[in-house]
Structures are given as C-alpha cells and as structure tokens.
Structure 1
Amino acid sequence: MAQITLPQAAGGTERYTLAPPSRFAPTHAPSPIRTVYAAAHVVADPRALNEPWRVPAVDWDATLAFRRHLWGLGFKVAEAMDTSQRGMGLDWSNAAELIARVLAEAKTVEGADLACGAGTDQLDPNAIGTLDDVIRAYEEQIAHVETHGGKIILMASRALCRVAKGPDDYLAVYSRLIRQCRGKVILHWLGEMFDPALAGYWGSREFQPAMAAVLTLIRDNAAKIDGIKISLLDAGKEIEMRRKLPDGIVMYSGDDFNYAELIAGDEHGFSHGLLGIFDPIAPAAAAAFARLEAGDKQGFHAILDPTVALSRRLFEAPTQYYKSGVVLLAWLNGFQDHFRMIGGAESARGILHYADLFRLADRAGLFTDPERAARRMGHLCALNGIA
C-alpha cells in the first residue's frame, strides 16, 4: 500500500495509507436515462507561461486528450465554461481557439458531443455602456460557435449584470439572442458564490423574483430552449424550479454540493447534470449512472455519495477557486505532467485544502495509480515545507 506524510489542520502531520487502485472502468457507454455534461478544465503549458498572471498559455494536446477521456466515459462536454477558467485567466481569444479545436476534435471521435459557452467576456468592463454592447458581444461569440458547428450554452454575463436595469432588460436581451440561434440553447444561471460579479442576476438578489423572470423567458421561448443549468448550491431552489419548468425543458443540475440526490430524483422528477465536479470524478460517476440505469439506487449512492464529500470540500467558499482542486486531481491521476494553471491559479488554495482533497479522492476510490498520486502529492507537500 502506498503511504504519504500529510499535514493536519490541527497541526503536525500524519502518515496516511492509500486505498487500492480505482475499480472504476476507464471507458463507459453513455447513460440512456440522464443527459450529463462534464464542464472540462484546460491544461496550461508551463513552458509558455512567461507571464502566467497576464498571458494564457494552453497545452492543446493534453487539453484535447482530456476531452477524449470524458467522451470515452459517455459524457458530453460543456466547453469553455467557468471550469476552463473562463473569466479567471482564459480570455476570449483563447476560449475561441479552444472551442474551434474541440469542435474539430469531436468530429474525429465516434459519439462525441458537446455544447459551448457563449458570453461577453471580450468586452472591456470599464467600457460597457449599453445593452446593445452586450448583445453585440454575445452575437460575436454565438456566431463563432455556430460557424464551427457547435451548440450554444448562453453563459451568464458580467457585462449584462452591470448594465441591466431590471428583469425586462434580461428578457429583452435573452429573447433576441435565443431567436437568432440556429438550434436550441441551454441557459446558464450561475450564482454569485461562483462569481461575485453576477450578484443580482435576472434583475433581483432574491430567488423568487429572479426565478419568475427566468421562467417567463423559458415559457416565451420554449421551442428554442433545451434546458437550464442552475448553480446556486441549494437543492431546494433547484427542485422548486425543476417542478415549474414547462414540459420538454430539461433541468441541468449545476449543484456541486447536492448533485447525487438531485440526479437520483424523487417521485416528481429528477435533474440531469452539467457539472464541473464530473471532470475529476468521471469514471465513478459513469459507474454510478450504470447502477441507476439498472434500478439500483442504493448502488448509485454507494458510488456517488463519497464523491459528494470531496466535491463539498473542493467547492467550498470562496467557491470560484474550485478550479485549482479540479486541476490538482487531474495531475494526481496522470492527465497532465504538472500542477500549474493559467493565471497562476494553483496558488488560490493552501496545502491543507489540497491534502484534504487528496484524502477524500482516495476514499472515493478515484486514484488509478495510488503510487503515482502519493509521489506527486509528496512533491507538492515538500514544496510547502512538509517533509
């Protein structure tokens, strides 16, 4: 059994013994009963990160290989979303290249599917004047995605949140955009815990009036909407809205705290998934969905519930820094050769946080090679002064 010395929150260290290698298969058929998108991270290129805080540098080969890993496990990919550090290091020019490259790659992989985030992050936040500025920015990104054959996820916009005067402005902007899109779109409600600049989205800081505005938008444009992803980290709010959606409109859970219970569902229905946590737990999640398909809800929870404990630590406040934990786990599992991120974002969390993620990932059975994971985590501990 692999062992490692890890720091403890109360001080000192412990000698930790890892569990056996992951039992989860590295490939899997797509789930026939749930539509699941994994919001995927990008792999930085540390040799090109000459100015890591200012100039993004992406390892395109490793980034594309990780998408093939997710497709091989039956997931759809939610591309160029906040998990890819969109708005936190990955600028629009790089996001546009990411979208083009991944859509081209998908054409070479049987069964590969994805949807791409279209937003307004090319705008200078200090030069946003009108709703028309926001609309033109959205239109530019929508056109780019559709030119390359992609489906649209209408991302929440910091610029729109800044200039909108109330719910009617959101309805006017989104309705215009939805009508222009070639196919059905996925709406994206990202809570302020993921991005403080989105506080008051849909025209209110209160859930009920904000939900009312979104439901009006969905009812008025139902023929062009696939579903909505909400990331509010509140199971009750997601369930309440899910039960009010018109027929044919899908709820995609973005709740990285409560996804197991929300996807399992209740007597009134269930959520599908569009989650950043699916990036590091994809093999376990795929196995869990197979148990759910077989009618074994207990088996589903036995696999997925341990990943929830990991996810709650990974997405803890300040939640927007969760990307560092996602990339840590990709490194520990051999999907990249380093623990460096665009924008130097690996510095966003401390070694105690990373040590807890290591323990929780091990307990969830996620390490395919425990010796490698322990060796790499040992290097990180050493860099933080832990012998």
Structure 2
Amino acid sequence: MGALRLLAADGAVADAPLNDSGGYSRPASALQSRVAYAAAHVVPKVHADNTPGQPADIDWDSTLAFRRNVYSWGLGVADAMDTAQRNMGLDAAATRELIARSAEVAREEGGSVVVGVNTDHVLESHISLDAVIDAYKEQLHFAEEQGAGPVLMASRHLARVASSADDYRRVYRTVLDSATVPVVLHWLGTAFDPELAGYFGADDWQTASAVLLDIIGENPDKVAGVKMSLLNAESEISVRSQLPSADSGQGVRMFTGDDFNYVSLIGGDQIPSSASTARDLAESTGTSHEQAVQSATTRELGGPARGHSDALLGAFAAITPVASAAIQALDAGDPARYLEILGPTEELSRQVFAAPTFYYKTGVAFLAWLNGHQPAFQMVGGLHSARSLPHLSRIVELANASLALEQPELARERWHGMLRLNGVDA
C-alpha cells in the first residue's frame, strides 16, 4: 500500500509500510460479554475562534456523527466527560448543550449514553460543602431530565474544601440520596487532573478506596458502577474484588478507566496482562506471535474467570472498531482472538496518554481526523497544539501497527500533508 513517513524526536525521517485496516465488521447484535463505553471528544467548527480562553464553538454535525459511529459498532457513549475537554476548553453552556444533543442522538440510535455530572459550572474557585452539594444536584437533575445516565465526576470544588473523609461521605451521601436513577461514580487520578490530589480524603489509594467502598456500601441501590482512572491496575482489581456482586441483587460494575492496562482488566484476571506477554513468550520459545497468543491465553485461562472490568475509556473513542471486534471475540468465546486484536492497541494508548496525561485529548482528536471523522485537526481551546509533531508521528506509527487506521490511505494523505505543512519532506 505504499510507505508511511515518520518523524523522530531528533528530526530524522524514516518510512514504514502502510498496513491495511483490520477489516473488522460491525456486530449483528448487541455486545454481550462486556459493557463498553467510548468517552467521546468534541469537534470544533473549522472557521470559529476556538482559541484558548474562548467559548467552545462546536461543529455539531461532526460531533454527533462521531457518536452515531460509536453506536454502530455496538459501544455506548460516555459524554461530557474529561475527554470532551471539560475544564480544558469546553465551557458550561457548551457542556449542557452537548448533554442534551447527545442524549437525543442516543434515543434516535437506540444507544446507551452516560454523561458527566460535576460542579464545574460554578465560577467561584472555593465554595462551601453545601454549595458543592447544590451544584452536583443541579447537574445531576439536568442529566436525568435529558434521559442520560449520570456519571458523578470528581469535583475540584470538593477536593479544595473537604477537610476529611467524612466530608466526602457527607457530600456523596446527600447527592446520591437525591438521584432518581443509579449513577456511576468516577475516581479520576492526579495524572488526569493534579487538582484532585487527596480525593476521598487520602493520598494513598488503599485508604481512599476504603472511603469509596463505604460510600457505595451506604448507597448500594443508588450506585450502578465505579469508573476508576488511576492508571493503576492493582488499585482497580482491589476495589473490583470488593464491590457488591450481581449475585447479591445489587451488583455494582467496575468500569475501567485505565488507558494503560485495559487489555487484561477487561479480559479478566486470567488473560495475559498485554500483548507483551505473548511477545515475550514468542521470543523465548521461538514460536510465532499467533501461536504464542494462543499458548499464553490457554496457560493462564485454565479455569473459571475470576472477574473482569467493563469499560469506560477515552482510548475506545480512538480505536472504536478495534475495541468492538475484540469484545465480539469474547462474545464468541475466543479470548486468544480478543488478545490478538486488542493487545497491540495498548502501546498506542500509552502513547496517546503519555505524560502530561491530561493532554491525551489531543491524540484522540488527532486519530479522529486521521480516520475521517472530522474535517480538520482542530480542537476547542486550541488544544491541538498540545503535542509535538514527533509525538503525533509515534501515534501514527502505532495506530498503523495495531490496525487502528480505519482508512489507511486517507490517514497517510492527511498525515503527509501535515508533515509538508510543517516543512518535513513527505
């Protein structure tokens, strides 16, 4: 298919073969083995003043078409989350409009949508605990009115004012008591937002997770799930093992938000941790990668699954067809195929979410542009400038390697045009 020009950090250029797409098929029916949401981004108008500090001016046709595409692959949409640039370009008015429009599209497409609920419409930086509760309730009830499932996001206001774990218990207890539908609780780590240090009343995850579990235990009928975004598989597995199970009649799902370790977390405790497991096995035994995937999976499955996480991931907005195909493989009872499909994407996701992690939205939008889901590589708040050209080149390289380029020729054309625009021969 031709060559793909790549740019290294030292300015050196090299060529790599352009791969075909994965050729994945949309599911004929709903995905069964996992619940999966793609945390979607927003697309700005190309001609609008979406510069830093300006209100978001959104291309609604492209933004909502992206969500329709996610639904067509059998995934749900998580909207108005941090992937949509909340607190990084998406203002309060645009957030409300996004929630209303996205909920309407979900009804039209028969898709599942959950939306972020926060306190970030309040302009003051420091407010009382009662004001935090009121702000949460205002956004919660708006989400409920739109018919969208609420995701109770971590609040910067609460992080600033809370002086103890009991303050978190009080706020969440009161807000959950007012909810008319079960909500998902979102624990966002400091890699994504440094202002959330000490959330749930402690800096270490062991102490903080005990508070989170207390909150769930006090309100089991009001909590549908937990989304953990700490980029720490150990903490997620620990909390997951302590959640009320479906057998209790009040099951609480674990939705992984770990864009570094999602392959093993979604696959289950007995799935090899990533494609590197199979790669290491192939190197040590001299077998092919395909044989090693099968061997590693067989060796470690060996018995009934001990648990898994569902998914609510920004990464899945970047690799929607691949994610769908992998879950379809689990539906078909083929964990080796799951690992073969999804395993290589983890390295891509780690590049997209590399430090400073909160700029990962740039990589999500960049891949959406490469894959033809938006007309230009632009973002609200001018955030498309947040990553370097070599960083983006590595995303191109890994997306090509993991078969995440949906239209490879289009992606190459757009990428090479971007290189030329920046004075790189392509």
Shared fold by TM > 0.5? yes
Q: Output aligned runs, 1:1-387, within 5 Å.
A: 1-26=1-26, 29-49=29-49, 51-109=51-109, 111-126=110-125, 128-247=126-245, 248-266=251-269, 267-387=305-425
Is this contact kept in 2: 1:118–1:138, CA < 8 A?
A: yes
SS of the residue aligned with 1:48? coil
Structure 2: stretches of 5+ with no match in the other structure:
246-250, 270-304
Give the Cα–Cα distance (whole angstroms) in 2 for the partners of residues 20 and 168 of structure 1: 54
What SS does the corresponding residue of 2:147 show, helix, strand or coil?
A: coil
Q: Could you give the per-residue CA deviations for residues 59-109 of structure 1, whole angstroms, max 9, x where no partner exists?
A: 001111010000111111111000001111101110100000111122211
The one-letter code of the counterpart of 2:116 is G
Q: CA deviation at 1:292?
A: 1.1
- For the structure 1 residues 155 and 50, does the alpha-carbon distance in structure 2 shift closer, same or farther, using more than 3 Å as the test? closer
User: What is the CA deviation profile of residues 194-226 of structure 1, one whole-angstrom value per residue up to 9, with x for unaligned ones?
Assistant: 011111110111111100100000000001110
**Offset, 1:122:** 0.9
1:144 offset after TM fit, Å? 1.2
Please tell me the residue identity of whatever aligns with 1:251.
Answer: M
Q: Which amino acid aligns with 1:163?
A: V
Distance 1:191 1:50, change over 3 A: closer
* In 1, Cα distance between equivalents of 2:43 and 2:50: 15
Aligned equivalents of 1:258 and 1:4: distance in 2? 28
- Please tell me whether the aligned partners of residues 28 and 286 of structure 1 are also in contact (alpha carbons under 8 angstroms): no
Deviation at 1:246, TM superposition (A): 1.6
Answer yes or no: is the 8 Å Cα contact 2:26–2:74 preserved in 1. no
Q: Which amino acid aligns with 2:422?
A: N
Deviations 1:164-221 (A, max 9, x none): 1111111100111111111100000000000111111101111111001000000000
Distance 2:52 2:165 in 1: 38
Q: Is the 8 A contact 1:2 1:374 kept in 2?
A: no
After TM superposition, give the deviation of residue 368 of structure 1 in Å: 2.4
- C-alpha separation between the residues in 1 aligned to 2:365 and 2:396? 12
Distance 1:51 1:236, change over 3 A: closer
Q: Deviations over 1:315-341 (max 9, x none)?
A: 011100000000000000000110000
Q: Distance in 2 between matches of 1:37 and 1:163?
A: 31
CA distance in 2, matches of 1:140, 1:263: 33
Shift of 1:384: 2.5
| Contact 1:44/1:57 (8 A) holds in 2 | yes
Letter in 1 for 2:14: E
Kept in 1, the 8 Å contact 2:57–2:380? The answer is yes
Counterpart residue identity of residue 9, structure 2? A
Tell me the distance in 2 between the aligned counterparts of 1:187 and 1:274. 12
AA matched with 2:43: V
Q: Residues of 1 paired with 2:417 and 2:28: CA distance?
A: 32
Q: Are 1:288 and 1:303, in contact at CA under 8 Å, matched by a contact in 2?
A: yes
Task: Using the TM superposition, give the Cα deviation of residue 31 of structure 1 relative to its aligned residue in structure 2, in angstroms.
Answer: 1.6
Structure 1 residue 52, shift from structure 2 partner:
4.6
Query: d(CA) in 1 for partners of 2:155 and 2:359?
Result: 19
How far off is 1:53 after superposition?
A: 3.5
Alpha-carbon separation, structure 2, partners of 1:18 and 1:4: 6
Q: CA deviation at 1:17?
A: 2.3
2:319 alignment partner, SS class: helix
Q: Return the offset for 1:6.
A: 1.9
Quick one: which amino acid aligns to residue 115 of structure 1?
A: V
Q: How many residues align?
A: 385
Separation in 2, partners of 1:306, 1:34? 19
1:15 deviation in Å? 2.1
User: What is the distance in 2 between the residues matched to 1:185 and 1:12?
Assistant: 49
Classify 1:92/1:23 alpha carbon distance in 2 versus 1 (closer, same or farther; 3 Å): same
Q: Give the superposition deviation at 1:49.
A: 2.0
Contact 2:50 2:379 survives alignment (8 Å): no
CA contact (8 A) 2:51 2:382 kept: no
Per the TM alignment, residue 112 of structure 1 is displaced from its structure 2 partner at its CA by: 1.0
2:372 partner SS: coil
Whether contact under 8 Å (1:30, 1:73) holds in the other structure is no
Task: Give the secondary-structure state (helix, strand or coil) at the position aligned to 2:108.
Answer: coil
Instruction: Give yes or no for contact 1:292–1:300 (8 Å, CA) kept in 2.
Output: yes
State the 1:55 CA deviation. 2.0
Give the TM-score normalised by structure 2.
0.88
Q: Is the 8 A contact 1:29 1:73 kept in 2?
A: no
Which residue identity is paired with 2:265? L
The alpha-carbon deviation at position 125 of structure 1 amounts to 4.1
